[in-house]
A and B are shown apart, each in its own frame.
Chain A
Amino acid sequence: MSGYLQQLLVGTVVTIELAAVSLLIAFSIGLIGAVARLSSSRWLTIPAAFYTTLIRAVPDLVLMLLLYYSVQNLVNLLTDALGQPQIEIDPFLAGVSVLGFIYGAYFTETLRGAVKAVPRGQLEAATAFGLSPWQVFWRILFPQMMRFALPGISNNWQVILKATALVSIIGLHEVIYAAQGAIKGSSWPGGAHVLFYLLMVALLYLVLTILSNFLFAYLEKRYAAGFERVAR
């Protein structure tokens, strides 16, 4: 049993990695998407609006299966055409790209609101001081935007963390996969092993939720530095 519990912990590490890398990808897509949605060019706003609306209208599990199997199908067609042996897409790579792509749409909306909340005068003043557009973004917009974005980021993180559970369906060896392995390999009197290992998974997710709550409370305090006195 301790061997199986160890496997659960290994699976939990994969779950954390999966969620963290997906968050990074989704956040990056969200930044690009938010800037695109707020740009003055229609060539950027319309595709960005299309992306966020369509992705958010379809369940993540459906999108995951659609993207995973379609891309695998395309890869197979390609390798067949070239006469090469078939390539299996790495489930971790598939998981992070699909989760990143899906939650990028949610981040686009979150960050769009946050970017809009930063007063325009700040950006104009920075430009007037001779800062380059990149410097305006990185030094002025980004730090102030984060304060408004953090509650949304925290929310999206919790959703991504729970969405990682679905990636076991496309074959990634994360915590649920490990639990299913443990269930198959053991047989307790009364059949309690199934419930036990699944409850352990739930417990691990709860611990991750509690830890991330603490982390985001700290970050929110940090990015709100200098504002609390003004508010009171």
Chain B
Amino acid sequence: MIDLIKQYWLPFLWGSPDHISGLAMTLWLTVISCAIGFVFSLPLSVARAAGPGWIRRIIWLFTFVFRGTPLYVQLLIIYSGIYGLDFVRNTPGLGSFFKVALNCTILAFTLNTCAYMTELLTGALRATPRGELEAAHSLGLAGLNLYRRIVLPSALRRALPAFSNEVILMLHATSLASVATVPDLLKVARDAYADYYLPFPAFGIAALLYACLSVTFISLFRKAEQKWLKHLSTT
């Protein structure tokens, strides 16, 4: 067990000159997927809450499909299903994109988290108090300005606890990247297990690191909630 820790603490935590560490890869996957997913969820949720009927239905279908199927299946579809098609392989731009496992995992994670974020942001948008809208209208705000200054900031604050939840779920979901050979925390743990056949220390260390990451994210979000949801606190 000491040998396992001696040999694998670098890949777990620090990395080597030509590889980033499992921890860094897990963090990167979480941050990049959540960031891109969030950016796309903003227009999608506005359109889903206030757009014309056919747009609403298309966005509903997108969120329904991505929330109704396992992320593992979505990852397999993108990683082996799409790349398995000959025409994708032979099209220069597509082939080189889908060939890289990291691109496929980030694409799958982004689409998945975007669906969940769109849905929770839509809920927050629909819960906008009428009074806020009326007050904004009476001040002459309309269109993009109304959304940029009143509706979205208000909805984003209300959605913050749900966002915190989704980011933690995404952090946990990134462990699937190891199935697609992306060198994240769990992949390092699996390599360590394959080397030493000591499952408890190998996966135990990974579990501990994931738990530490979860606790860090939760406390960061709690700080954010204290800052932005101060006006809602009852105490």
Interface on A for B, CB 8 Å cutoff? 54, 57-63, 65-66, 69-70, 72-73, 162-166, 169, 176, 183, 190-195, 198-199, 201-202, 205-206, 209-210
Contacts and interface: CB of A to CB of B under 8 A. Distances in A.
Given A57-B210, A57-B211, A69-B203, A176 B72 contact: yes
Contacts of A57: 210-211, 214-215
A199 B80 CA distance: 11
Given A66-B199, A169-B179, A206-B64, 7 more contacts: A61-B175, A65-B189, A66-B204, A66-B207, A198-B73, A205-B70, A205-B73
Contact of A195 (B68, B77, B89): B77
A202 B203 contact: no
Given A69-B203, A70-B199, A205 B211 contact: no
Interface SS of B by simple majority? helix
A-B pairs, 4 with minimum CB distance: A69-B199, A194-B84, A59-B172, A66-B203
A192 B85 contact: yes
Given A66-B203, A190-B86, A194-B80, A201 B73 contact: yes
Contacts of B86: 190-191
7 contacts: A59-B186, A59-B210, A62-B203, A62-B207, A69-B203, A195-B81, A198-B77
Contacts, number: 112
B65 interface: yes
Given A59-B210, A198-B80, A199-B81, A165 B70 contact: yes
Interface of B: 64-65, 68-74, 76-77, 80-82, 84-87, 89, 171-176, 178-179, 186, 189-190, 193, 197-200, 203-204, 206-207, 210-211, 214-215
B158 to A, nearest CB: 19
Contacts of B215: 57
Interface SS of A by simple majority? helix
B172 A162 contact: no
B200 A195 contact: no
B73 A176 contact: yes
Given A61-B175, A205-B70, A191 B84 contact: yes
Contact of B84 (A162, A195, A210): A195
A201 B175 CA distance: 21
Contacts of B71: 162
A211 to B, nearest CB: 11
Contacts of B172: 58-61
A67 to B, nearest CB: 9
Contacts of A164: 70
Contact of A198 (B81, B203, B204, B206): B81
Contact of A70 (B82, B173, B203): B203
